[in-house]
Chains A and B, each alone.
Chain A
């Protein structure tokens, strides 16, 4: 198999296994309050880390460049308009604009 085929098959198998584990292991059970309390905060922790690494990391170094500006612009637009579509369109447009300057 080619590198691309192995990558796709590997990603598919691993993703399916990860997504199946929780529902199978914990289905129908009542959860303790400490678990719930952590789960509620998991989303802001993970999303913030994803955004920060995507916007600032270039490989293994941190950089403030065109896409950082674009992501910030997209976030601002979302904050004001609450439109996720406007958010991604403005982010791309702002990044393109900074690169064109």
Chain B
């Protein structure tokens, strides 16, 4: 368990550094959206979900209300429902402990801890999330407090950091031909919906591309792999 947690800290370190840079950009943008320094830090500390936080502050910055911001953040975070459901069986402990561990699920730790057979390395996930949490909250504080000294966030290209971070995660995932096809389908679905739906909905609908996994061939391959590795978990 300790070994796995340390492994998670190591595997998660580069993502935590990149996440820290992302958090600095969040702190600066939150400041611009009318958040006090302490409010930006509190949000990062208790929400700990980059895409939802960026979505919420961009709506407030555009003049939207709290209801619209929370609704969009909810849609953005809806992907954690299937993600945390996927991890569920790999978590040990009673319902309360599992619910608490579920809070540690963030995109990169989820992806890093996936064993590729549908099961997850719990200790690695917690380690990767722990180090990311520190840089996420710390980076937000740096951006919120000292961001003014950096100058115009647009001129610095800070808005490209968030999608680039997720692009890196994505490229790590595209090992199989099927995964590449699903990514292309998800992209097409999301971009097609952008002009017609509120933010968050395109991403949520794009998750339907994963239903490609229901095809006979995809299921057969999973079963083969599980059997090859012994007992399915």
Q: List chain A positions with a Cβ less than 8 A from chain B.
A: 3-8, 10-12, 14-16, 18-31, 33-57, 59-62, 66-67, 70-71, 74-75, 78-79, 83-85, 87-97, 99-100
* Given A19-B103, A37-B222, A71 contacting B84 (CB threshold 8 A): no
Contact of B166 (CB < 8 Å), options: A3, A27, A51:
A51
Residues of A within 8 A of B159 (CB): 67, 95
* Given A4-B35, A60-B195, A87-B168, A33 contacting B219 (CB threshold 8 A): yes
Contact of B157 (CB < 8 Å), options: A6, A49, A55, A66:
A66
Question: What are 16 pairs between A and B in contact, CB < 8 Å?
Answer: A10-B66, A18-B78, A31-B118, A36-B117, A39-B213, A40-B114, A44-B173, A45-B207, A47-B173, A48-B186, A49-B207, A52-B187, A57-B194, A67-B160, A83-B14, A84-B15
Contact of A88 (CB < 8 Å), options: B36, B87, B161:
B161
Number of interface residues of B (CB under 8 A): 114
Residues of B within 8 A of A61 (CB): 194-195
Contact of A44 (CB < 8 Å), options: B70, B100, B183, B233:
B183
Contact of B187 (CB < 8 Å), options: A26, A48, A88:
A48
Which B-chain residue is minimally distant from A55 (CB atoms)?
A: B163
Which A-chain residue is minimally distant from B53 (CB atoms)?
A: A11
CA gap between A14 and B73 in the complex, in Å: 9
Expressed in whole angstroms, the minimum distance between the Cβ of B119 and any Cβ of chain A is: 8
Residue contact A49 to B186, C-beta cutoff 8 Å: yes
Interface set, chain B 193-233, CB cutoff 8 A to A: 194-196, 199, 202-203, 206-214, 218-219, 221-223, 226, 232-233
Residue contact A95 to B157, C-beta cutoff 8 Å: yes
CA gap between A23 and B78 in the complex, in Å: 15
CA gap between A22 and B84 in the complex, in Å: 5
Residue contact B168 to A42, C-beta cutoff 8 Å: no
Which A-chain residue is minimally distant from B118 (CB atoms)?
A: A36
Residue contact A74 to B160, C-beta cutoff 8 Å: yes
CA gap between A33 and B178 in the complex, in Å: 16
CA gap between A43 and B86 in the complex, in Å: 11
Expressed in whole angstroms, the minimum distance between the Cβ of B208 and any Cβ of chain A is: 8
Q: Closest 6 interchain pairs by CB?
A: A95-B157, A36-B118, A22-B84, A91-B164, A49-B206, A22-B85
Expressed in whole angstroms, the minimum distance between the Cβ of B62 and any Cβ of chain A is: 8
CA gap between A18 and B106 in the complex, in Å: 12
CA gap between A64 and B60 in the complex, in Å: 24
Residues of A within 8 A of B42 (CB): 8
Residues of A within 8 A of B165 (CB): 84, 87-88
